[in-house]
Amino acid sequence: MLTTMRLYQINSSRILQHIRKNRGKSRIAVSEELGLDRSTLTKVVRDLIARNLVRTTGKYRGKPGVGRMATGLEINPDFTLVLGIEAQPRFCRWALVNLDGTSVSSGTHEYTAGNDDLCAHVQEIYQEALQNAQDKKLTISGLGIGLSGIVDPYNGVILNSNPLSITSPWPIRTILEAKLGIPVFVENDANCCCWGELAFRSNGPSRNFLAFLGEFRNVDIGKNKINGTAFGIGLVIRGNVFHGDTFTAGEFRSLLYDHTKPGNSQFSISDQEAMRLPGDTGVLERVFDEVAYNGSLLVNCLDMNKVVIAGDFAAYPELLQKKLEQAIQSNWIYTTKKECAIEFSPDGPLAVAMGAAGLFIEKLFSVPDMTDHIDEAVGYILLERISPSPT
């Protein structure tokens, strides 16, 4: 049975989410569309305005015809800032964004040789970003972190990350929240690209899509630091990021990978060929051929209607788009054309960092489960953590 407090949290979260998705709607329109009585709506909106998260804007007429125009509602994008960080073995990229996804500042934080304490680096980045926020008379209310590996995002635990040399569960969220005093979310890097799409560019019918994150990285093969590729897939099904039962959904190795030959690549190329990326056009095309070959199976089997290319691979739109479109049609069993949009993330190298920030923002505007058990602090519950009631 729902408690009165739980019901209020759910309804407040529904209202907050609706205002965000329907900028300019009036109080009456929001009340009618959500099926809530006006007294509940008025109480919640008054609270959200007092916190400065919601503000009034312009005039709105919900239905054509005569009648007085009502004042609309919208989210205040400068209510707070969110910090997103991508953690890689030798450096971190970071982006500080407002609730609309506008980047206020960004940068790259290189690791000191021999210093592998990720939490210490995150703290240094946070202090730099905090100074930028304070210069603009704003605050930072949340942190999202994206990294390569297996992540339990609900408990904020890195289960395994080969690039970061993490081989046993590490509760990074608990550690960082104690040090920084703000809510922290942790996620796989390819999944972060999904969250970025959902938070900042999900204004169409794309409820089912894939995010392909391809990056050229310095990797350690046989103790020798050489160039290589890192590729991961994020899956969004019915508007939700899919993690799998063991949080390994999207972990990739090409169907063409040859297990009889030694190598550390996710593709059929050798370690020696990986050393020549991205400069060797021939090897690069082979990698992209395999991305298209493997990706077409997922697109057609899961009926995805969009693929978003992010990371370093997004710098090759003409080459990748053509290969993907051809592979999807070749793999399609029916005579009708398979419709699937191929898009490229505009965030460039900051795609994961922006997505990590988007993860936090999506959680802020989510609706808690309709149960008394709070599995995850989202929506109004998260809002109360970052902005105590002014009353």
Predicted pLDDT at 275: 85
Predicted pLDDT at 173: 97
Burial class (CB in 10 A: 0-12, 13-18, 19+), 289: middle
Predicted pLDDT at 204: 58
Which token pair is 153? 């995002």
Q: What CA–CA distance (Å, rounded) separates 367 from 71?
A: 25
The type of residue at 256 is: L
- The pTM (predicted TM-score) of the whole model is 0.92
Q: Which helix (H) or strand (E) holds 131?
A: helix 118-135
Which token pair is 83? 């910090």
User: Please, are residues 50 and 383 in contact by the beta-carbon 8 Å criterion?
Assistant: no
Chain-centre distance of CA 321, in angstroms?
A: 22
Q: What CA–CA distance (Å, rounded) separates 319 from 168?
A: 39
Task: Provide φ and ψ at 282, rounded to 5°.
Answer: -65, -45
User: Please, are residues 83 and 94 in contact by the beta-carbon 8 Å criterion?
Assistant: yes
Best CA proximity match to 196, nearest among 236, 249, 250, 230? 236
Q: What CA–CA distance (Å, rounded) separates 150 from 284?
A: 26
The type of residue at 54 is: V
Predicted pLDDT at 226: 47
Q: How far is CA 194 from CA 53, 59, 73, 239, 243, in A?
A: 25, 34, 27, 10, 12
Predicted pLDDT at 69: 64
Which token pair is 236? 């969004």
Strand partners, 296: none
DSSP structure string for 58-105? EEE-SSSSSSPPEEEEEE-TTS-EEEEEEE-SSEEEEEEE-TT--EEE
Q: What CA–CA distance (Å, rounded) separates 280 from 2?
A: 60
User: Please, are residues 272 and 227 in contact by the beta-carbon 8 Å criterion?
Assistant: no
* Structural domains in the chain plus CATH codes: 4-75 (1.10.10.10), 81-192+360-386 (3.30.420.40), 203-351 (3.30.420.40)
Predicted pLDDT at 366: 94
Kindly give the parts of the chain with pLDDT less than 50.
64, 66, 219-226, 373
For 341-390, where are the alpha helices, taking DSSP H only?
351-364, 380-386
Strand partners, 311: 214
Q: What CA–CA distance (Å, rounded) separates 360 from 156?
A: 13
Per DSSP bridges, beta strands 140-147 and 81-87 are parallel
